[in-house]
Amino acid sequence: MSRYNFFLRTSNVLAFILVIAVNSVVNFKGDPPKSDEPVNNATQFSGNWTVPETYLLPADYTFGIWGLIYTLLFGFIIYQWFESAQDATIDGIKFYHVIASILNISWSLIWGDSKIRILIDAFVLAALFAVTYKAYYNLKTHYPPKNNSDRLFIHYPFTIYAAWTLISTILNFWAAIPLLNNVFFSTIAIIGLGIAGHDYNKNHDNRSHDVVYSATIAWALIGIAVRQQDTLAILIASSVSSGVILGGILRVWYTQVHAYWELRRNRLRGIDESDPLIP
């Protein structure tokens, strides 16, 4: 293993440890709840925080996805040391995980009870989304999974991370800019998320479908529908959008299963036709 490879992998480990440590301190320090906090930090780990109510704020349980993201990233931190993960880690993810961790920590530390801090946090989250999406794009385009371990510990962490930071960025902008927080703009945003989620169920430039990215967006939309059920336009938009995404996912699964059985049947038919005749 070269010095560069060792340094990169070690940096990934240290960055992950710092993210977990800082987020734990920020979310469990026991400060009294405040009335005007960023949406993301308010609902990640502790139910004691109060948040500014917006039309895009999903149900509290949806933020449990951060636990899944960090669990999968922990798997990545371990799996990156295996030889089979070298190309994707060194040439695909590069230092994007380290940069994303720095932005994640900055987001947690900037968090506060003023609109300006929430707005700054939103821009930090936008940068975090750009970085995680770049890692996701590299993996998706140039380093497709070679096995289930690649899929689970390399692709899934950065796919869900990128999709959820997109959601988090939008939530923070809605919490920071009151002008955006109305039924019209919120409905437009939900429809846009629905289109984006459905779009990832399609093939583009010979790249395969990405139901995980789509499902992450659908998860947020379902949470919005649950929390905002008293606002009819938001309820309809989020329910229909999530339904369209989930319908697309089911269509992809059906197509894949059907193709698998067709291939299997054709192979069996080929074997039968090649069998010698018994005299």
Neighbours of 83 (CB within 10 A): 7
Q: pLDDT tens digit string along 189-227?
A: 999 999 998 887 665 544 556 889 999 999 999 999 999
Which of the two residues, 38 and 66, has the higher pLDDT score? Answer: 66
Q: What is the mean pLDDT of residues 216-242?
A: 95
Token pair recorded at residue 192:
């846009």
pLDDT confidence of residue 47: 42
Could you tell me how far CA 211 lies from the centroid of its own chain?
11
Report whether pLDDT(51) > 70: no
Report whether pLDDT(52) > 80: no
The whole-chain average pLDDT of the chain stands at: 85
Report whether pLDDT(253) > 80: no
Q: pLDDT tens digit string along 139-174?
A: 999 999 999 999 999 999 999 999 999 999 999 999
Which of the two residues, 146 and 49, has the higher pLDDT score? Answer: 146
Q: What percent of the chain has pLDDT over 70?
A: 82
What's the rounded Cα separation, in Å, for the pair 262 and 174? 48
Q: What is the mean pLDDT of residues 87-111?
A: 93
Q: How confident is the model at residue 113 (pLDDT cuts 50, 70, 90)?
A: low
Report whether pLDDT(94) > 70: yes
pLDDT confidence of residue 125: 96
Which of the two residues, 243 and 254, has the higher pLDDT score? Answer: 243
Q: pLDDT tens digit string along 12-46?
A: 999 999 999 998 888 776 554 444 444 444 444 44
Which of the two residues, 34 and 124, has the higher pLDDT score? Answer: 124
pLDDT confidence of residue 166: 96
